[in-house]
Amino acid sequence: MWGVLAIVMVWGCERDYMFRGGMEGIAFSQDTVMFDTIFTSIGSATRHFRVYNPYGSDMTIDAIQLAGGEDSKFRINVNGIPEHRVDDVPLRTGDSLFVFVEVTINPDANNNASFVVVDSVLFYTKERIQSVKLVAYGQDVVLMRKDSITSQTFTSAKPYLIYDWLMVGEGSTLTIEAGAHLHFYKGASLIVHKDASLIVNGTQEKPVVFTGSRLEGWYADKPGQWGSIWLMPGSRDHSINYADIRNATYGLIVDSVGLSGQAPLLLSNTRIEHITNQGLVAQSSSIIAHNSLFADCGSASVALTLGGKYEFYHCTIANYYRWGYRGIPALLLSNYFLNDEGMVEIMDLESALFSNCIIYGPNENEIGLDFEPKATKKGSEEPQKEFLLNYKFEHSLIKTALGEVVLSNKSHFQDVIVNRNPSFMDVSAYNYHLDTLSVAQDVGNTEVARRYPFDYAGNMRIDGVVLPDLGFLERLEQE
């Protein structure tokens, strides 16, 4: 008796999925799946949509398939089955299933412009054939992988997609024209070798962009998508104008560049943002920077270490990093490191000048001064040598926990605004224009502004009536 009852119970619970749908059809979470611009020959991010059974009975979908079949640029996965067609798909009443979609676009040798690839996912039920459209925009690229190049020029004709690394070989020069885009796959970097040079000739209208290989909107402000730009020891004669360096692990690494009589790195009208570690990190180098933004970094936005010679004019060093805890100040100055033998290695900080700048963020202290005035052997109190330690903040707005005694030293701090909010327009949207009531308006040094009369956006800093503003952007009343 109990055996018969068990059989009846199991039979009664079993779903037959005989229903094949009515005229209303099935329902979808969206009627079109869009892929942002992707590069040819590499897969995009996976998209998905949901399919719903709106009926009061369990049902079977006769078939789900790509309209383009096996030749489609798209691929689908239905309930874990990665096939271009899946038959007899069960779907319980009121339930849903996921359809995952991926796309790879092959290069179009006859067209360098962006192009569109379309297809559809078809759904067959007893009464209807329905579809969800698939749309992807693709672009052909110059693909580079573990390439060591001699002197050449990158243009804006096609984007460059870089895997692993791109090395500018010894004695060579890489010139990058306005409007060029360099996209780096995860972990990839641009390395400029000894005696090699990097010349970036961006313009206000057409900056040179260094970013990751994921072009979907979600990735626009995500850090850590690629490695860094590394100017190696002995590289020389670098000039970077109107560059956007973003989404990297480190932004720009400047290692022993521009000292010993060589030309400094000239860094102008450049934005370095959305970086996992330091945005600009330099050691024992010489840099002249103006009209530039360093922001949204997991460590210091600017770290100037192991001495050197630095000049920053009309720069905004801001850090409102939102992707994790940041214990390092937005600006870090240091002149030493501890080597493997336990020796404190110190280099002269010949100068570090910040004029007409804004250095700000949410932390209590956004300026870190980490100095060793004398070199000593670990465990020894005997001084070996005294080193230069010159730094100065003038006509700038700074956020700092340094005491009044330190701040009263005119050789290091002169005409500074301390711990007053600069009132950026909207840091959540990375908008660092000054608001109407900003204390950073009309307080800059006119002589410095005459040297750099136009701001990052091309606006005049001096109109003969009021003083220039601080930072890389001049406030305009119509903004």
In a domain, 191, yes or no: yes
Q: How far apart are the first and last CA of the chain?
A: 85
151 & 43 share domain:
no
128 & 160 share domain:
no
User: Residue 24: is its pLDDT beyond 80?
Assistant: yes
Query: Residue 343: what pLDDT?
Result: 80
Query: Residue 218: what pLDDT?
Result: 86
112 & 254 share domain:
no
Residue that is last in its domain, among 138, 163, 185: 138
Quote the CA–CA distance of 214 and 183 in Å, as a whole number: 8
Query: Residue 41: what pLDDT?
Result: 67
Residue with tokens 């949410």: 362
Specify the number of domains making up the chain: 2
Query: Residue 3: what pLDDT?
Result: 44
Query: Residue 115: what pLDDT?
Result: 67
The count of other CB atoms within 10 Å of the CB of residue 375 is 16
User: Residue 378: is its pLDDT beyond 60?
Assistant: no
Residue with tokens 């972990």: 187
Under DSSP, the state recorded for 219 is: G
pLDDT confidence tier of residue 44, bands split at 50, 70 and 90: confident
3-state DSSP assignment of residue 217: helix
In a domain, 168, yes or no: yes
The strand pairing partners of 139, in sequence order, are 39
User: Residue 237: is its pLDDT beyond 90?
Assistant: yes
What pTM was computed for the model?
0.83
| 426-457 pLDDT per residue, tens | 999 999 999 999 999 999 999 999 999 999 99
3-state DSSP assignment of residue 7: helix
CA dihedral over 442, 444, 447, 449, signed as positive or negative: negative
In a domain, 413, yes or no: yes
85 & 72 share domain:
yes
119 & 238 share domain:
no
In a domain, 473, yes or no: no
Quote the CA–CA distance of 116 and 99 in Å, as a whole number: 22
In a domain, 477, yes or no: no
CA 411, 415, 421: angle at the middle one, nearest 5? 125
In a domain, 54, yes or no: yes
Residue that is last in its domain, among 106, 138, 170: 138
pLDDT confidence tier of residue 345, bands split at 50, 70 and 90: confident
339 & 241 share domain:
yes
357 & 261 share domain:
yes
126 & 163 share domain:
no
3-state DSSP assignment of residue 193: coil
- For β-strands 424-426 and 431-434, DSSP reports them as antiparallel
Quote the CA–CA distance of 273 and 253 in Å, as a whole number: 14
We report the CATH number of the domain holding residue 236 as 2.160.20
157 & 111 share domain:
no
Residue 12, φ and ψ in degrees, nearest 5: -70, -25
pLDDT confidence tier of residue 43, bands split at 50, 70 and 90: low
8 Å CB contact between 230 and 190: yes
The count of other CB atoms within 10 Å of the CB of residue 436 is 10
| 92-134 pLDDT per residue, tens | 999 999 999 999 876 554 454 566 788 999 999 988 999 999 9
Quote the CA–CA distance of 64 and 85 in Å, as a whole number: 6
Single-letter code of the amino acid located at 199: I
Quote the CA–CA distance of 137 and 68 in Å, as a whole number: 17
In a domain, 390, yes or no: yes
In a domain, 199, yes or no: yes
pLDDT confidence tier of residue 463, bands split at 50, 70 and 90: confident
Q: Which of 168, 134, 174, 136 is nearest to 154 (CA)?
A: 174
Residue 135 class from Cβ within 10 Å (0-12 exposed, 13-18 middle, 19+ buried)?
middle
Quote the CA–CA distance of 242 and 233 in Å, as a whole number: 24
3-state DSSP assignment of residue 8: helix
368 & 323 share domain:
yes
H-helix segments, 301-433 = 404-407
381 & 419 share domain:
yes
Query: Residue 393: what pLDDT?
Result: 98
Query: Residue 478: what pLDDT?
Result: 62
We report the CATH number of the domain holding residue 108 as 2.60.40.10
Please give the residue range of the domain that contains residue 50: 20-138
For residues 354-358, average pLDDT: 98
133 & 266 share domain:
no
Residue that is last in its domain, among 116, 138, 160: 138
Contacts of residue 373, defined as CB under 8 A and 6 or more positions apart, other chains included, come to: 386, 387, 389
